[in-house]
Amino acid sequence: MSFDDRGTTSLAGRLPLDLLVVSLVSIGVVVLAAGDGGGIVRMALGGAFVAFCPGYALISALFPQRTSRIPERLSTLGFRREEPAAFSALERVVSAIAVSVVFVPFVGFLLHYTQWGIRPATMVPGIAVATVGLAALAAIRRLRVPPDQRFAVASLAVPRRLNAWVREPDRPVYTALNVFLVVGLVVAVAGIGIAAATSTNGERYTELSVLGTDPDGGAAVADEYPRELAPGEEATVRVGIANREAGARSYAVVAQLQRLDDGDGETRVVERSELDRFDARLQRGESTELSRTVEPGMEGEGLRIAFLLYVDEPPTYPTVENAYRSVHIWVDVGDASATGANETGPNA
C-alpha cells in the first residue's frame, strides 16, 4: 500500500482533519440519538460511529506516525521476515474496524458497573465521550511528532486517495485482494449502519409499578400498601411509570376495583367499578411517580384494585386482558386480612 503525504506543509498535515471528522460524527450521533428521527443520515453516521470511529481514535492515539512500524515479533506472527511491517493507511482502517468490535462492548461492560447501567441513553454518550477523548489524545500525540513523520490525510480527493491505497501496479493479485477488502469494508459498515438505524436497541417496554409509603421516612417502597379499609375510607398509593420504549409515549391509566370469583376452577371478574383515570406523557427514558387516592365503592374480602395502563387511549371496556401493562394490590373493605401486591403482564 502506498501513501502520499504531499509534503509537510499541507493543511491536513498540520490540522488532524480525520480526527476532527471522527469527533464530529460522534457528537452528531449523540444529537440524533436524543431525538426520535432516523433515516439515511442516522444510518450513515450510526454505522461509522459504531464500526469505525472508536477504533480509529484508539489506533490513532497508539500510532501517531505516518508509517508506524510494528515490532517484528508481533508482525511476523511466527514467520520470518526481512524487515518489520509498516502500518499503512488502509491497514489503519481495517484495524480500526476490528478494534471497534472489541471497544464498543468494553464500554458497555464498564457502564454495567456504574449507576447508569447499559441503556441506549447511556451507551451512545459513553462511546462518544470515549471516542472524542481518544481523538483529542491522538491529536496531541500526532502534533508532537515531526511533520515529516506525522500521519495525516493529505488529500480530500477520495477517488485519488482510494486509488493510491488500493492499486499495486506491479502486483495485480495484490490489487485484486485490496479491492475485495475495500468492498467488504463498505458492505460491513453499511450493514452496521442499517442495523443502527432500524434496530430496536434491545427490548422495548414500559414499566408500571404501584408503591406504598414508608411510615417512618415517607419514602416510596414496594410494601406498606393499604390492606384493610373501612367502608368509605380512602386509600393512597403511588403509581410509577417508566418509558423504555423507542420514543415518546402518551399513557392512560385506569384504576378499577374488582371482585373476583374462583368458581369452576377459573378465576374471573364478576364485578368491577372505576376508581380513577389519569394520563401521562413521557419522553424516551423518562419516568414519573404519581400519588393517587381512590375510594372503594364496594365491600368484601379479597377485592382487587387494578391499575391498567394503555398506550394512547384506553378501550371502551378496560380489562386486565386488554391492558398493555397492569399491576394490582389486594384489599379488604369492611373486615379482613390482606395480601401483598402482584404485577402482571398484558395477558394476566
- List Cα–Cα distances, 8 to 13, 89, 145, 196, in angstroms: 6, 17, 12, 38
| Amino acid 6: pLDDT | 43
Among residues 340, 266, 276, 274, the alpha carbon closest in space to that of 302 is found at 340
Digitized pLDDT (tens) for each residue of the chain, 348 residues in all:
333 444 444 444 456 778 888 888 888 777 777 665 555 666 667 777 778 888 888 888 888 876 655 555 444 444 444 444 556 667 777 888 888 888 888 888 887 777 777 776 778 888 888 888 898 898 888 888 887 777 766 544 455 555 555 566 666 666 666 666 666 665 655 555 545 544 444 567 899 999 888 777 777 777 778 889 888 888 889 999 999 887 889 999 999 999 998 877 788 889 999 999 999 999 988 999 999 999 888 899 999 999 999 999 999 999 999 999 999 999 999 854 433 444 444 444
DSSP H helical ranges for the chain: 11-14, 17-33, 39-51, 53-62, 72-76, 89-112, 120-143, 158-166, 172-198
Phi, psi for 49 (deg, rounded to 5) = -65, -50
The DSSP annotation for 221-258 comes to ES-----EE-TT--EEEEEEEEEESSS-EEEEEEEEEE
| Amino acid 164: pLDDT | 56
- Can you tell me the distance from the alpha carbon of 203 to that of 265, in angstroms, rounded to the nearest whole number? 35
| Amino acid 276: pLDDT | 93
* Cell 409499578 belongs to residue: 209
* Cell 511533520 belongs to residue: 147
| Amino acid 328: pLDDT | 92
- Can you tell me the distance from the alpha carbon of 313 to that of 278, in angstroms, rounded to the nearest whole number? 11
| Amino acid 31: pLDDT | 78
| Ordered domains of the chain (ranges, CATH) | 11-198 (no CATH), 205-344 (2.60.40.10)
- List Cα–Cα distances, 313 to 79, 287, 344, in angstroms: 69, 19, 20
| Amino acid 340: pLDDT | 40
| Amino acid 330: pLDDT | 92
